[in-house]
Amino acid sequence: MPDHARVRAVLFDLDNTLLLEDESTERALRDTCAAIAERTGADLEILAAAAREGADEVFRASSVFAYADAMGIWWGEALWGEFAGDTAGLREMRAFVPEFRRRVWGRALAAAGNAEDNLVEAAINAFRSARRQNQLVDRDAEDVVRDLGRDHRLALVTNGAPDVQREKLSHTSLASSFHVAIISAEIGVGKPDPRIFEAALTALDLSPEGAVMIGDSLARDVVGAHAAGLRAVWIDRGARENMPAPAPVPDARVESLREVRLALAALRPGGASPRGSRGSHRAAGRDGSRARASRRGDPSAR
């Protein structure tokens, strides 16, 4: 393979690629609702459904949604994150989340028949604690990242708030594996804007032809990588709802992180072709379910 075509760096998405964000949020939500149900006799399923639906509805209707959506911040993070930072957007998020949490849990408890103020505060605190204790990592993530790090430079390119993403990473052994970490709200642009990928390439001192993006989102990871001239490997987590139309075509499709090294070896040389028209070395087609607490209801969102 010509030297210019060699994959020198691998860029990884974080949420639902290396970390199981939706599953972590769903587990914390159900743990919280189970504790409240045991305390009050409320129906756990009614409570959990009302919390999910209310959080999504209130978040989408909020004044911070445009910023949050651009940065890839979702309601699951707004229920527990601190949003530290001095940018206008992060300051607005910080001011927004206390009332957001009260509204979400107040509505959920009311739907289940009990909206006492002390229970609302208990639910807020219980979820924040549960979510911090429930950071699930893809079972192959640490081994795959360690293996690829032996012969590639590694970068993390993730949407989200800097402190929230770093706190998630702190519960894993992954952080020290990356030469570069680019977080959307830290630089002011989020995927699929090609500038976030270009920031990673600049930090790595590489051209697009030498790097490949790995992520679960067709709309953000694949489209954004192609716009920046990178090839992209799509981690297909089985989501089929709200798929972008026409669906972006990744350079390769895998169903698990274990397959990434083989996918990299099979990639055609050079940068991404326009609009990802190169095609996948593996046909998409597997249906699958998604954790019920999902990012903005959009499986390709992050």
For residue 205, pLDDT over 90 is answered with yes
Q: What is the pLDDT of residue 283?
A: 33
Higher local confidence (pLDDT), 124 or 134: 124
For residue 66, pLDDT over 70 is answered with yes
Q: What is the pLDDT of residue 200?
A: 99
CATH code matching the domain that covers 3-20+138-285+293-297, chosen among 3.20.20.100, 3.40.50.620, 3.40.50.720, 3.40.50.1000: 3.40.50.1000
Q: What is the pLDDT of residue 276?
A: 42
Alpha helices (H) in the chain, listed in sequence order: 21-40, 44-60, 65-71, 75-78, 88-111, 117-133, 141-148, 162-170, 184-187, 194-204, 223-227, 260-266
Average pLDDT over residues 280-297: 42
Average pLDDT, rounded, for the chain: 90
Q: What is the pLDDT of residue 127?
A: 99
Residue 247: pLDDT band (50, 70, 90) is confident
Distance CA 227, CA 198 (A): 10
Q: What is the pLDDT of residue 50?
A: 98
Percent of residues, the chain, with pLDDT higher than 70: 86
Q: So where are the chain's domains?
A: 3-20+138-285+293-297, 21-133
Q: Is residue 71 a contact partner of residue 191, using CB atoms and an 8 Å limit?
A: no
Q: What is the pLDDT of residue 254?
A: 98
Closest CA to 217 of 135, 154, 298: 298
Lowest mean pLDDT among 150-159, 223-232, 268-277: 268-277
For residue 250, pLDDT over 90 is answered with yes
pLDDT in tens, 89-130: 999 999 999 999 999 999 999 999 887 889 999 999 999 999
Which residues have C-beta within 8 Å of that of residue 28, sequence separation ≥ 6?
A: 80, 127, 130, 131, 133, 134
Q: What is the pLDDT of residue 18?
A: 99
Q: What is the pLDDT of residue 213?
A: 99
Closest CA to 78 of 89, 86, 88: 89
Residue 179: pLDDT band (50, 70, 90) is very high
For residue 192, pLDDT over 60 is answered with yes
pTM of the full structure: 0.89
